[in-house]
Homo-oligomer: A and B are copies of this chain.
Amino acid sequence: MNKELAHRVEIIAVGSELLTPHYQDTNSLYLTARLNDIGWTVSFKTIVGDDVRDLSSRVRQALRSTELVMISGGLGPTGDDVTREAVARALGRDLILQRDLLEQIRERFRRRRRVMPKANRRQAFVIRGAAVLPNPNGTAPGQLIRAGGKRIFLLPGPPHELKTICEASVWPELERERRRYLSRSVLKVTGLTESMVEDLISGLYPRTSDLGLTVLASPGQVEVHLLAASPAGQARARAELRRFQSRLLGRLKDYVFSAHGESLEQVVGALLREKKMTLAAAESCSGGLISHRLTNVPGSSDYFLEGVIAYSNAAKVGLLAVPREFIETHGAVSHQVGRAMALGVRKRARADIGLAVTGIAGPTGGTAEKPVGLVFTALSSAGVTEVEENLFLGTREQIKFQSAQKALDMVRRHLLSRAGARKRRSS
């Protein structure tokens, strides 16, 4: 553990609303990701209300424990916005009215045919010695103050204003003294539990600080976050990451559905588009979630023809031509009904692929024989029908998500295996 102050950052978020049960500070996640990329470590995150004394004491403390302090929020025009005053007090410096800044703020209002309210004059005050960081999206500029070998950035709280100032002024300033280059990727995995992933990749956990590996799991999806750092440049970091990633892919194989941030519905959509194929979905216990996820992808109308949420048995028979005797003999949650739903929706929509889900999402409706979480997922295409029996754990919404995830993954695997078959034939 690094006990020196060098390379250490404290992020302070200012705002009494961030101390209520209703709001979380999210700016710090963006700041942390970007700071890490250029070699800085976040050592503390602090949230302080709109109070001059509280904030100035915490700024003093931050300057004692880190080399860089980033403060977001509290730069607005009202009396609640105390960041300028508090930092000036912490440093024992004056606040100075900067005329050209005041003129810019006035001009901003003028362009909108409004007169600048008096309150906004506060935003033209700058801590003595600070550099002003222009804010194209708002009236509150950022400030950079240097003091005793340390730096303090003041940034506005609204995320789009903060990000714009960071991209234009903060990262370029820190970039110049960049100590290391980072490359990152995220392998998204489905079809394996967290512990199955851990077993597969055991032995690949890096022992040096120039590689990073973090596993984040939720029901139906595991994310493996990779990181490679190098002092020798971006290209070197990227090459290290590629090497590391290919070792992981060698273990996780086709359980990985995405290495570039795409969601499963995006991956499935891109494959359908590439192969010029169309899809229709028949959902019972997933209740529309497959259709909802597919249609979240812009342009999905090109390959997604229709969805049917056949919640009632009448709908299964009437809309999907499931033989009534299948339901009577095997029950609505059965291998046979899942298969018939996939076939039925494919024929109905004249789609290349029909996808179906039938199961018990709970929390009630389970029996000893057919417990909550029992879900049949089925895929029908010309010449192929696949049905899988799954037992998912979790809440109703988690079971719905896992059902949709499994069904979408069947489409992905089906399209990939077709591609493989065709390649093998043509070679």
Q: Which of A287, A288, A311, A363 has the most CB of B within 10 A?
A: A288
Q: Which residues of chain A (341-375) have a CB below 8 Å from chain B? A: 348-350, 361-364
Asked whether A98 is an interface residue with its Cβ less than 8 Å from the other chain, the reply is no
Q: Which residues of chain A (11-68) have a CB below 8 Å from chain B? A: 17-22, 24, 26, 29-30, 32-33, 36, 41-51, 53-54, 57-58, 61, 65
CB distance from A300 to the nearest CB of B (A): 8
Residue of B nearest to A48 (CB): B44
Copies of this protein in the assembly total 2
Residue of B nearest to A304 (CB): B311
Q: Which of A41, A305, A309 has the most CB of B within 10 A?
A: A309
Task: Check B311–A307 contact: CB distance below 8 A.
Answer: yes
Asked whether A337 is an interface residue with its Cβ less than 8 Å from the other chain, the reply is no
Binds B, one of A154-162, A268-276, A291-299: A291-299
Task: Check B65–A54 contact: CB distance below 8 A.
Answer: yes
Residue of B nearest to A315 (CB): B306
Residues of chain B lying within 8 A (CB to CB) of residue A300? 287, 311
Residues of chain B lying within 8 A (CB to CB) of residue A299? 364
Asked whether A379 is an interface residue with its Cβ less than 8 Å from the other chain, the reply is no
Residues of chain B lying within 8 A (CB to CB) of residue A306? 308-312, 314-315, 319
CB distance from A349 to the nearest CB of B (A): 7
Task: Check A318–B348 contact: CB distance below 8 A.
Answer: yes
Task: Give CA–CA (A19, B28) in the complex, Å.
Answer: 9
Residues of chain B lying within 8 A (CB to CB) of residue A50? 1
Task: Give CA–CA (A42, B22) in the complex, Å.
Answer: 13
Selected from B30, B51, B288, the residue in CB contact (under 8 A) with A295 is B288
Task: Give CA–CA (A53, B45) in the complex, Å.
Answer: 16
Task: Check A57–B47 contact: CB distance below 8 A.
Answer: no
Selected from B41, B289, B295, B363, the residue in CB contact (under 8 A) with A311 is B295
Selected from B19, B283, B349, the residue in CB contact (under 8 A) with A42 is B19
Residue of B nearest to A309 (CB): B307
Asked whether A225 is an interface residue with its Cβ less than 8 Å from the other chain, the reply is yes
Asked whether A301 is an interface residue with its Cβ less than 8 Å from the other chain, the reply is yes
Task: Check B21–A33 contact: CB distance below 8 A.
Answer: yes
Q: List 11 additional contacts besides A301-B312, A305-B311; criterion CB under 8 Å.
A: A18-B45, A21-B36, A24-B24, A46-B47, A57-B65, A283-B291, A291-B291, A291-B309, A296-B400, A314-B349, A314-B350
13 pairs, CB–CB < 8 Å, chain A vs chain B:
A21-B33, A43-B51, A43-B54, A287-B292, A291-B291, A291-B292, A291-B309, A296-B400, A298-B396, A299-B364, A306-B312, A308-B308, A318-B348
